Amino acid sequence: MSFEADLYALLKGLVSNRVYPDIAPIAVVHPYITWQGVGGQTLRFIDNTAADHRNTRVQVNTWATTRAGANTLARQIEDVLCATSLFTATPLGEAVSDYDSETKTYGAMQDFSIYSTR
């Protein structure tokens, strides 16, 4: 499996499979999760060969009909990602709140540093 497939497998049970890279479909049922790769550290040895691990900075976004729902889901995601043995995830701070006035949807966004061999 790829890193992306592992991430999906870990998160899908929290929101009945509603986990999407980048953006969700229009009119998706709440709650749902989106995520983006937003950088990371390139790992190279001194001889410039690639390391056997990759580091990806991933922003995971929760979307719900209430602030409490978005925050609760964000904490569940943090627990799941930090407990897995599929890769090593470290939160890079607390979740940041968001609100989409057009869809009346509450969001919570949190970045993770993830080391993976996939």
**What are the tens digits of pLDDT across the range 52-73?**
667 788 999 999 999 999 999 9
pTM for this structure? 0.86
In this structure, is residue 47 part of a structural domain?
Answer: no
Q: In the chain, how many domains are there?
A: 1
From the CB of residue 66, how many other CB atoms can be counted at a distance below 10 Å? 12
Neighbours of 44 (CB within 10 A): 10
49 in a structural domain? no
Give the CATH number of the domain where residue 11 resides: 3.30.2000.30
Look at residue 30 and tell me if it is in a domain.
yes
Alpha-carbon distances, residue 63 vs 3, 10, 51, 79, 112 (angstroms): 22, 17, 35, 17, 17
Taking only the tens place, the pLDDT of each residue in 37-54 is 876 566 566 677 666 667
